[in-house]
Homo-oligomer: A and B are copies of this chain.
Amino acid sequence: MAELPEKARKLFKEPNLTYIATVMRDGSPQVTPVWVELSNGHVCFNTAVGRVKEKNIRRDPRVAVSIANREDPYDKVDLRGRVVDMVVGPEADEMIDRLAKKYLGEDEYPWRSPDEQRVMVKIEPESVNTV
């Protein structure tokens, strides 16, 4: 596990949109933006069961992450790593509300759909590029 440098921790702690790349079944890449938070040196994001990236990482846990300062896109970090945990249930539900607070300033995630199951995805960084 690679330790996140201070520059990366700062970017992840602020409400900066983060891009997560995964690999499709056919080996081609896929990338979408997510909300993130840090937990014990892991980069954690929240998605819903059944989404393309969720299915991809269940099959292949290797991911890449890129984040830039929302006020200065040249202040940026990218990393490669591996999904080491995926959690559904109350922990994932509380997390999406916490992320709504961080990114939208709202106490509850406003786009919740009754038929969706949220999932917390934990990434262990393996190599970090701060240039």
Contacts and interface: CB of A to CB of B under 8 A. Distances in A.
A29 B33 contact: no
> How many copies of the polypeptide does the oligomer hold?
2
A108 B66 CA distance: 26
Interface residues of A, number: 26
A73 interface: yes
Interface in A14-34: 17, 19-24, 27-33
Nearest to A52: B129
Interface stretch (A2-10, A41-49, A57-65, A85-93): A57-65
Contacts of A60: 27
A21 to B, nearest CB: 4
A78 interface: yes
